[in-house]
Amino acid sequence: MSELHATLSGIGVSAGVAVGPLVIVSPPLTAPPNEAPTTDAAAASQQVRDTLKAVADGLLAKAANADAHAKPILEAGAMMAGDPGLAGAIDTQLQTGKGITNAVAAAVDEYCAMFESLGGYMAERVTDLKDVRDRTVARLLGQAEPGVPSLTTPSILAAVDLAPAETATLSTETCLGIITSAGGPTSHTAILAAQLGIPAIVQAAGILDVPTGTTVALDGGVGEIIVDPSAEEQQMLQDRKARREKALAAGSGKGMTKDGHPIQLLANIGTAADARKAAVQDVEGVGLFRSEFLFLDRDTAPTVEEQTATYTEVFEAFGDRKVVIRTLDAGADKPLAFADLGHEENPALGRRGIRLGAVRTDLLDDQLQALANAQKATGANLWVMAPMIATRQEASWFAERVRGIGLPKVGVMIEVPAAALRSFDVLSEVDFASLGTNDLGQYTMAADRMQGELSALLDIWQPALLDIIFYACDGGAKTGHPVGVCGESGGDPLMALVLAGLGVSSLSMAPSKVRAVRTALALHDLAQCQQMAAAARASVGPKEAREVVLSMADPVLHDLL
Amino acid sequence: MATREVAIGSSVGLHARPASIFVQAATATGVAVTIAKAGGNPVDARSILGVMALGAKNGEVVTLSADGDGADAALDSLVALLERDLDAE
């Protein structure tokens, strides 16, 4: 066995097995503080121009192979790198005697400051500008450009974490698997990998010390990584993959437990394109349609007509299947140029979701009007819910507006522990609720979802979170109104059993996860699920909770993880 | 010095896609064209960063200027471009 051979572990966030060469995504380099000052400004200026040209050419080459979503991002970057104004600003810095990479950084930072002060769309371009800066600085230092390199052979990517712009260029043909040393189960990387069906592991300590090119095997279900695996180990993983495929192939149609208790299996979608892709899958409808994409990246709110057209497209894709839409969920962390309520110290605890809707009723009413128009035109089985409801009064306020406009089904997201604990009150005002377990976890544990170091607190198996979900379902049951789950936890086959046992009536997830969850449910009776839920809640910690549930599960379920 | 005044026709303003189309067209003329908002400093029309930072909104009037051979023809073509709603095309 070679000296490289090792086993690493992390948190599996997207199930599946992959074997391939490792490609480490280089982290960005910063301009060195001790750089030699520029003495020949003219020569340095020419070198900068040549480098910017190379960066622009590289981005254009990537754009040529990118999909419709990534292409404009890359082309915009190429245009910035080729900007004569930027080259001129760098010249000005070089003439003060600054070292060459520091001159580039200073000139770009000036533009960034200007764009940030303009806010909205312009502030978002700062990410693109900084990307151009990092590529230029790396080239000037004689290093590889940071970010995901163009993959010529199918590979496994490893990085500290991947930025949205980096993941935008990934394809399932060349990216076999993703491993990050940081990031959490609800990070952007994890969600994207699950959507694409790419096996992925986060929080894998030590992975960045493995040399690029080393063969690596990963199992995204259990979070295991084998560096330089032996033939037997590769075979073992392939066998597991084959058993998994066999188990998955078994079921189709509506979700239900072995004894026939129905659990609806729904898809999470974010765009009309997602809707078209999800609609051809074996799902019972949409459990979470995030409407934000219509509002982000623009200077003015979308008109009622524009929204109506998009909603109509989504509803038509799903025919008479249920579609649950969440009204606009924006706030200080997802700012909108046309609805900026100003800086907040704690955006997650600030005026986001329905709290923004209550201030900007014009935005909410336009959205509801567009939904009503599209529903009327298509006869869609539409369910409308509000994000960030905390109290019965908020639920009642929202329900009145939705019903007033003629929409049949109104509900709330339960992400705030207050709403979960008082779910009988909240659900007395509305027809249904959906648990956003990512945010519910964040607020229950007082741990920022974006803070990878706190991912242990955000574990979906935390008994406190399970208790909160239990209370939410219990209150819901007393009103006779359904409570579903639309967070990432609904897509975990083992957790799905616990959620069913806690009283959840529907699970919404990335469409790629539906098959495994359907199979898991079909292997167990509702009574078994209830016993698992009770055992998980009786555990002292998340690790113990998961272990005890796994020990109670059907052996075939192990192959699904 | 040739100059032209034109109101921005793009519904989103001179931003994003309309801004890149304009900058590409300005670069293609081969003439050093500047663009300015009323009372503002002129910026190089070939600079995407400069043009985006202008923040010219729909309906806002901008001034294009250029010198030398081909200046009039270049400005006329750019005026015709800015009058259109580039985002809708």
Q: Is the confidence at residue A168, as pLDDT, over 80?
A: no
Taking phi over 0 as left and psi of -120 to 50 as alpha, with beta for the rest, A325 belongs to beta
Helices (H), ranges, A82-119: 84-95, 100-118
Q: What's at A495, amino acid-wise? A: M
Q: What is the pLDDT of residue A347?
A: 84
> Taking residues B22-48, what's their average pLDDT?
92
What residues of A are labeled active site? 188, 486
A-B contacts (CB, under 8 Å): 47
The lowest-confidence range among A318-332, A425-439, A464-478, A522-536 is A318-332
Q: What is the pTM of this model?
A: 0.66
CB contact under 8 A, A85 and B12: no
Q: Which of A52, A71, A75, A83 to mutate to test the interface with B (most CBs of B within 10 A)?
A: A83
CB contact under 8 A, B47 and A86: yes
CB contact under 8 A, B49 and A121: no
Q: What is the pLDDT of residue A377?
A: 94
Q: What's at A26, amino acid-wise? A: S
DSSP states of A225-243: EEES--HHHHHHHHHHHHH
Q: Is the confidence at residue A217, as pLDDT, over 70?
A: yes
DSSP states of A406-418: T-SEEEEEE-SHH
pLDDT bucket at A165, cuts 50 / 70 / 90: low
- Comparing CA positions, the residue from B10, B44, B43, B41 lying closest to residue B27 is B44
**Tokens found for residue A462:** 């935390």
Å between B49 CA and nearest CA of chain A: 7
Across B45-68, b (16+ Cβ under 10 Å) vs e yields: bbbbbbbbbbbbbbeeebebbbee
pLDDT bucket at A1, cuts 50 / 70 / 90: very low
> Could you read off the pLDDT of A148-164 as tens digits, one per residue?
777 778 999 999 888 66
- The residues facing A508 across adjacent strands are A266
Å between A118 CA and nearest CA of chain B: 8
> Taking residues B71-76, what's their average pLDDT?
94
Q: Which of A299, A303, A305 to mutate to test the interface with B (most CBs of B within 10 A)?
A: A299
Report the SS3 class of residue A223. Answer: coil
> Could you read off the pLDDT of A296-333 as tens digits, one per residue?
777 789 999 999 999 999 999 999 999 999 999 987 56
pLDDT bucket at A508, cuts 50 / 70 / 90: very high
Q: Do the beta carbons of residue A491 and residue A507 sit within 8 Å? A: yes
Q: What are phi and psi of A56, to 5 degrees?
A: -60, -45
Q: Any idea what DSSP says for residue B55?
A: -
> Taking residues A224-247, what's their average pLDDT?
89
Whole-number mean pLDDT of chain A? 90
Residues in B closer than 8 angstroms to A76, CB to CB, are 20, 48
> Could you read off the pLDDT of A102-116 as tens digits, one per residue?
999 999 999 998 888
HEC string of A259-291 equals: CCCECEEEEEECCHHHHHHHHCCCCCEEEEEEC
- How far is residue A417's CA from residue A198's CA, in Å, rounded to a whole number? 33
Q: Is the confidence at residue A123, as pLDDT, over 80?
A: no
- For residues B55 and A166, the model is more confident at B55
Percent of chain A with pLDDT over 70: 96
